[in-house]
Amino acid sequence: MQVSVVVCTHEPARYDALAEAADSVLGGSYDDVELVLVSDGSETVRQRMERDYGDHDDVQIEALDENRGLLVARNTGARAATGDLVAFIDDDAVADPAWLDRLVAAHESRDRRAVAGRMEPRWVADEPRFLPAEFYFLIGATHRGFGPDGDPGREGEVRNGMGSNIAFAAEAFAEIGGFEPNVGGRKGDKQLQGGETELCARFRERYGEDVWYVPDAVVEHKIYEYRTRPRWLLKRAFMQGVSKRGMERFVPASTGEERAFLGRLFGRFVPERLRGLAADPNPTDAAQLVFLLLLTAAVGLGYLYGVVKWR
């Protein structure tokens, strides 16, 4: 089975990171892979792609005339792909060597049209000791509470995967029309995040299937210094709240997963943290608990802002 992996970028400054992502795919253990590189409106990026990968038989290069946004670029790459399975990875991520082997194994053994894996943080800067794992989704990593029954280490059905570690049967992806550009990405409604959620909702409506989550199919996401700043994280949390309210316009049934997460957060995770602090008071755990509550409040404020904005 051939797998096509789509990687997109739009800024020359991100090219070196894209090249590392591309090389991690080409250097993996899965041997029937096609890499589709997409330049989202940058002639400089296109030229560098041609220079570095133009002679590879297993690489296709696509270029958009102008910056159209990540979701349009992904759709462009998927249309050019010739593989049976189309996978996506971001330009600031690095795939584990066995990433595609494990996605393909799940696709075939589980007879699933959509499979996704786990995102692990790769700390380019120092790991922020105050950031609780429950909010790793803010930095593009799999968070505590994700996965079947809230267990990120357990294989099974999930509502949606993350856009940097998800794969679809090519025919199914084409049949549902790919990503909806107006939902989010770097263009469209910039206040919305969650193109994967909307896509997976349409996928489920069409095929009656959820995404099959494979925790051993790992992609690392580079976490640069600016993503570890408290101010950035709080702003990101606020925009997540705005986005969650906005997503309800596109996917009315999308809130179930968030409600389940809130139930686990306050029914299990916060009490566990409180008991841990009572047994072993320490500044790191205390800071994480305080920041967890602040981030939760920021998401809530963002949601309320979205209620007013889209009333």
Inside any domain, residue 74: yes
CATH number at residue 24: 3.90.550.10
Q: Produce one character per residue of 228-245: b if its CB has 16 or more CB atoms within 10 Å, e if not.
A: beeeebbebbbbbbbbbb
Question: What string of DSSP letters covers 55-72?
Answer: T-TTEEEEEESS---HHH
Q: The tokens 């709240």 sit on which residue? A: 241
> For the whole model, what pTM was predicted?
0.93
Inside any domain, residue 247: no
Inside any domain, residue 292: no
Helical residues (DSSP H) of 4-156, grouped into ranges: 15-26, 43-53, 70-80, 99-109
pLDDT truncated to tens, each residue of the chain (311 aa)? 999 999 999 999 999 999 999 999 999 999 999 999 999 999 999 999 999 999 999 999 999 999 999 999 999 999 999 999 999 999 999 999 999 999 999 999 999 999 999 999 999 989 999 999 999 999 999 999 999 999 999 999 999 999 999 999 999 999 999 999 877 555 444 545 678 888 998 999 999 999 999 999 999 999 999 999 999 999 999 999 988 887 777 666 666 778 889 999 999 999 999 999 999 999 999 999 999 999 999 999 999 998 888 77
Inside any domain, residue 239: no
Distance CA 209, CA 104 (A): 17
Q: What is the pLDDT of residue 188?
A: 40
Q: What is the pLDDT of residue 160?
A: 93
What is the DSSP secondary structure assignment for residue 143, as one 8-state letter? P
Residue-range definition of the domain harbouring residue 180: 3-131+140-228
N- to C-terminal Cα separation, the chain: 48
Q: Strand pairing of 211-223 and 93-95? A: antiparallel
Inside any domain, residue 267: no
Domain count, the chain: 1
Inside any domain, residue 275: no
Q: Which tokens belong to 227? A: 């993503």
User: What's the full length of the chain, in residues?
Assistant: 311
Q: The tokens 């600031």 sit on which residue? A: 92
Inside any domain, residue 107: yes
How far is residue 98 from each of residues 12, 58, 185, 279, 290, measured CA to CA in Å? 29, 18, 28, 40, 38
Distance CA 261, CA 255 (A): 10
Distance CA 145, CA 268 (A): 10
Inside any domain, residue 202: yes
Q: Which tokens belong to 176? A: 């549902």
Distance CA 87, CA 81 (A): 10
What is the DSSP secondary structure assignment for residue 109, as one 8-state letter? H
Q: What is the pLDDT of residue 183?
A: 72
Please provide residue 125's backbone torsions phi and psi, each rounded to the nearest 5 degrees: -95, 180
